[in-house]
Amino acid sequence: MPEANPARIDVVLVAGGKFHDIDFARLELLKLLAEDERVRVRVFEDYSRIDVIRAARFLVTYTCDVVPSLDEQEQLRAWLEGGGRWFALHGTNSILRFLQSGLVDSPRWAPHLMQTLGSQFIAHPPIQPYRVDVVQPSHALVQGVEPFEAADELYLSETHGELDVLLAAEYEGEAKGFVEDQWPKARHPVFYIHKLGQGAVLYLTLGHCRSHYDMHAVGMDYYPRVERGSWDLPVYYDLLRRGLAWSKEAQSPT
């Protein structure tokens, strides 16, 4: 029998930052969250409403170069350890600085945050199709998902702690335009779980998107093309829905 009066699920979506079409990603995520009538969402551009985040069942983030303060980082960690769940997307683990040389640096300025997330973005090769492999085909989050090709940013990241990797991509070569531009052959996590106490982070690195007006931070008034990356793939929306379902299993805040 269906539950007569299903309980409300409070969610926070943090969508903000640079170099990406945050408007597009925010709208798409809100549409997915709205598929469950129990979900009530509050939306912010950063982590300053940490009180609202800590009262929520789970947190979803689509950001780029948005770093919480140290106090906010510590409270996020405590919330996760107490049973919260954080579905982190794409550039959530990024810190980017454009140098006078024209190169992009990824400074290690927020180790507490990156250790909580389980990784820090360092570089990516030019956007081009690459194969995403299923590492644990029997895991519920990827069961039935076949290997697929994504024309997206392949995140070359520095990892922290033990990760339960579900999807991965192999890469060897150059990450042109980044300070750390030479990468030996290795498998890089694309979709993983990082457990912390009673809670966990679920990270999905796919999801690049950019429109004509998203590079003004580096002096480009009009970017010549629209990029949708994995948002053009049905499998990406499948993974997002699975991630949101996983997030709802978090313990209710006390």
Backbone angles phi, psi at 38, to 5 degrees: -75, -20
Backbone angles phi, psi at 63, to 5 degrees: -140, 170
Write down how long the chain is. 254
Geometric angle at alpha carbon 56, from 203 and 235, rounded to 5°: 35
pLDDT of residue 254: 52
Is the pLDDT assigned to residue 253 strictly greater than 90? no
The mean pLDDT of 10-33, rounded to a whole number, is 98
pTM score of the predicted model: 0.97
Residue 89, classed as helix, strand or coil, is strand
pLDDT band, residue 1 (cuts 50/70/90): low
Q: How far apart are CA 99 and CA 178, in angstroms?
A: 10
pLDDT of residue 4: 76
pLDDT digit string, tens, across residues 169-195: 999 999 999 999 999 999 999 999 999
pLDDT digit string, tens, across residues 116-138: 999 999 999 999 999 999 999 99
Is the pLDDT assigned to residue 115 strictly greater than 60? yes
The mean pLDDT of 99-113, rounded to a whole number, is 97
Which homologous superfamily is 9-99+106-122+159-165+189-247 in? Class I glutamine amidotransferase (GATase) domain (3.40.50.880)
